[in-house]
Structure 1
Amino acid sequence: MKAAIVASLVGSAAAFAPTSSGRAGTSLAVEKSKALPFLPAPANCEGYVGNVGFDPLGVSNYFPVDYLREAELKHGRMCQLAWLGYVAVDLGMRVPGYPEAMSSASSAAAHGPAVEYGALGNILVWIAFAEMTSWIGVSQMLQGSGRAPGDFGFGKKFLDGKTDAQIESMKLKEITHCRAAMLAFSGVVTQSVLYDKGFPYF
């Protein structure tokens, strides 16, 4: 008799107990970012080479990731060249034919003389031309042409005969160097201005 009462109490209590479904369990298991484990992984960045889930502001939710990757590659490539040019000037490399004010200026102090001589205006024109022509490819990419971000057709011969894994590895190396160059150029400019010394700027 006592066993029957206990069984009925346990059965009635179990009727009001919360049940768990597989769907509720998976909704709570959100994949976390590798770079920032306290944030969810940005879903739109999945499948891109070099993705470590770093998007704390959620920019990939508002802009096409192809466009963002294009910008990242462009700025990274420019910073690789810029770091090399900045340091080369401070090590004494000069283009022949420029006036003394420009030839003797350090990289940090070259802006003023370059504006006076007109060199900076020429650079602006060429950069504007490059931006306008490159936008044709970017625009076609955003309209679904299948063009890969940053692909301007240069260096394709280096991919001949490579496996998909090797191509992915080369893309990963490029994006890694691009990101390092953006930090490196920011650092070299900041340090050269703060310490007002030539290379290595300390």
Structure 2
Amino acid sequence: MMKLAVLAALAGSASAFAPAANGRGSTSLAEKSKAVPFLPNPSNLDGYVGANGFDPLGISNYFPTDYLVESELKHGRICQLAWLGYVAVDLGARIYPLPESMQGVTSATAHDPAVAFGSLGNMFVWMAFFEMAGWIGISQMLQGSGRAPGDFGFGKQFLEGKSEAQINEMKLKEVTHCRAAMLAFAGVVTQSVLYDKGFPYF
């Protein structure tokens, strides 16, 4: 009896952290996807800027679409900054003098010296802090607060006085740049390692 009570408590606590349903329909069998015309339209994506019905694996049937959009925007924004930082380091940009152990490193070779120096441990602490703070907004969004995916209150002045069509155009530009940045960062890292040369890495 005690074992059943413990299992029930564990199951209940686990379900508290499960993503909430997004309240939309699932995959529509009649309508076809715009992006992949031979597949059904994933109707969970309807109404999201830049979606175009692209979900060949049906991921939006298992996770809230707001959560997926939040994830895409977050990773895209990080990759935009990461591409710029990766290239800037290889072009010689420095914010402050580097310690002797970090002299002459490139973006591709900086990992081990940075671990030895301790700067990556420092970075981990800051990243953990930002992730915990960001999860508060995500958790509230998944519970129906009305918060838009990726909205942390920054840059909203650019949307003031604009029509809904103009706002959607800005959102489309952002998600397009986010997707391009994710591909670009993967490409720049791969090319810099394969060719072992500085920018432009060939």
Secondary structure of the 1:129 match is helix
Partner of 1:105: 105
Q: Structure 2: which amino acid aligns with 1:174?
A: E
Partner of 2:176: 176
Shift of 1:29: 7.4
Mapped to 1, the partners of 2:92 and 2:122 lie a distance apart of 23
Give yes or no for the alignment of 1:123 onto 2:123. Answer: yes
Mapped to 2, the partners of 1:87 and 1:31 lie a distance apart of 44
- Aligned CA distance change for structure 1 residues 99 and 29 (closer, same or farther; 3 Å): closer
Partner of 2:90: 90
Match runs of 1:22-37 below 5 Å: 30-37=30-37
Q: Structure 2: which amino acid aligns with 1:146?
A: G
Mapped to 2, the partners of 1:55 and 1:101 lie a distance apart of 46
Partner of 1:150: 150
Measured against aligned partners, the alpha-carbon deviations of 1:12-36 in whole angstroms (never above 9, x if no partner) come to xxxxxxxxxxxxxxxx972211221
Partner of 2:17: none
Greater percentage in strand: 2
Measured against aligned partners, the alpha-carbon deviations of 1:29-81 in whole angstroms (never above 9, x if no partner) come to 72211221121111100000001111111100000000000000000000000
Q: Structure 2: which amino acid aligns with 1:59?
A: I
| Structure 1 portions without partners, runs of 5+ | 1-27
Measured against aligned partners, the alpha-carbon deviations of 1:104-144 in whole angstroms (never above 9, x if no partner) come to 10000000011011110111000000000010000000000
Match runs of 1:40-59 below 5 Å: 40-59=40-59
Aligned residues: 175
Mapped to 2, the partners of 1:188 and 1:145 lie a distance apart of 38
Whether the 8 Å contact between 1:32 and 1:39 is mirrored in structure 2 is yes
Partner of 1:39: 39
Give yes or no for the alignment of 1:138 onto 2:138. Answer: yes
Mapped to 2, the partners of 1:150 and 1:29 lie a distance apart of 30
Aligned sequence identity (%): 74
Whether the 8 Å contact between 1:94 and 1:103 is mirrored in structure 2 is no
Partner of 2:165: 165
TM-score, scaled to structure 2: 0.84
Shift of 1:97: 3.0
Partner of 1:193: 193
Q: Structure 2: which amino acid aligns with 1:71?
A: S
Partner of 1:9: none
Mapped to 1, the partners of 2:29 and 2:143 lie a distance apart of 34
Q: Structure 2: which amino acid aligns with 1:120?
A: L
Secondary structure of the 1:92 match is coil
| Structure 2 portions without partners, runs of 5+ | 1-27
Shift of 1:98: 2.1
Partner of 2:65: 65
Mapped to 2, the partners of 1:179 and 1:103 lie a distance apart of 33
Which protein is bigger by CA-based radius of gyration? 1
